[in-house]
Amino acid sequence: MSASLSRSTKRVAVLAIALSSALVAAGCTSNDPATTPAASTQQASNAASDNDAPGKKVVIGFSGPAADHGWLAAVNNSALAEAKKYSDVELKSAEGTNDASLQISQIETFINDKVDAIVLLPTDGAALTEVATKAMQAGIPVINVDREFSSPFAARATILGDNYGMGVSAGTYACKIVKDKNLTNPVIAEIAGIDALPLTQDRSKGFADALKACNQTVDNRVAAEFTVESGEKQASNLLQAAPKIDVLWNHDDDQGVGVMAALDQANRHEMAFIGGAGSANAMRWIQEGKMEATVIYPPTQAADGIKLARLIAQNKGLSDLVQVEVPNRVVLNAPVVTKENVEQYLPLGFES
């Protein structure tokens, strides 16, 4: 993605910083569904300094993916919306594309225009590494979003979701369900994304590792392709193979639309259904009781990139850190959304 097409890293020490004002408002700094009243009532800005006050005018170039997936569209929209919040930011947004050659051309245009910073969610991290390095050598800081470059010299800062952490969050919640329902010999199923992608492998590994804590394993597993059609097809195959399922984790809420269609068609709603990514329709299903939970893979990563690009171009740091400069690597949290906290996260949900 999107989330589904990103290049994930193994779980590192997670710097769970709610960089965007929307994330702060939603209290995205904890995996715990219960949040304190203070956390849920914070205002849009949480800056402890005047970082949000207008400063030096900066021009930021943004290049993102083609919006052919709900999560990807949300990535692009969040970046555009964030830039509009600042009177000192001029955003030059390139047309979303899945063509690496076109995206390279877009970055070269930004370099020729001498923008102050570039926010880039690459179609392919390796393919965009050379041109990103060229921008850095030209003195233009690059903020790499979601899909990593193959060289540390290609970016001033990198913002990532936590794919392994998604699996851990889903598996930990699955263990909670097993315990709360006092299930013996539960049947746990998994509908993954594209198995060839490192991000899918990381999500599955995190899920399996977390299940070990309650002595469980995945009993039935299929892999889809992050699309509605593939989700429905693979879910139908899974349901035929498993006459009873207690817990089902689906990696991606866009393909989850197809999964839900298969569940409805087969009248199979006996299981606790856990999703992934954090779509608005998944959160509405949680409210309606049709879905147990979903695990967030933040679509605000590019918006966070805009905020960091502005700070870096203005020679500012993060006001809530002692360190005077913006970190060079930020891995966002993967919280679980349930009926208890869905109202807080729903404003961040994207439409599939």
Task: Assess whether pLDDT exceeds 50 at residue 212.
Answer: yes
Give me the helices (H) in the chain, please.
21-26, 37-40, 70-84, 100-113, 125-137, 163-180, 198-211, 228-241, 253-266, 280-288, 301-313, 342-345
One fold for 21-162+298-348 and 163-296: yes
pLDDT at 40: 35
- The model's confidence at residue 323, banded by pLDDT at 50, 70 and 90, is confident
Confidence band (pLDDT; 50, 70, 90) for 348? confident
Average pLDDT, the chain: 88
Closest CA to 297 of 273, 321, 275: 275
Residue 158 has pLDDT above 80, yes or no: yes
- Match 């608005």 to its residue by tokens: 280
Q: What's the CA gap between 277 and 298, in Å, rounded?
A: 7
pLDDT level of residue 126 (50, 70, 90 thresholds): very high
Q: What is the mean pLDDT of residues 132-145?
A: 98
Question: Cβ(260)–Cβ(285) under 8 Å?
Answer: yes
Give Cα separations from 98 to 5, 112, 139, 279, 350 (angstroms). Answer: 11, 22, 26, 22, 20
Which CATH number fits the domain 163-296, given the four candidates 3.40.50.2300, 3.30.310.80, 3.30.420.40, 1.10.10.10?
3.40.50.2300
Position with higher pLDDT, 348 vs 163: 163
Question: How would residue 23 be classed by pLDDT, with cut points 50, 70 and 90?
Answer: very low
Q: Is the pLDDT of residue 91 over 80?
A: yes
Listed by start position, the domains of the chain span 21-162+298-348, 163-296
pLDDT band at 234 (very low <50, low <70, confident <90, very high): very high
The answer to whether residues 60 and 89 touch, using CB atoms and an 8 Å cutoff, is yes
The more confident residue out of 113 and 351 is 113
Topology (CATH) of 21-162+298-348: Rossmann fold (3.40.50)
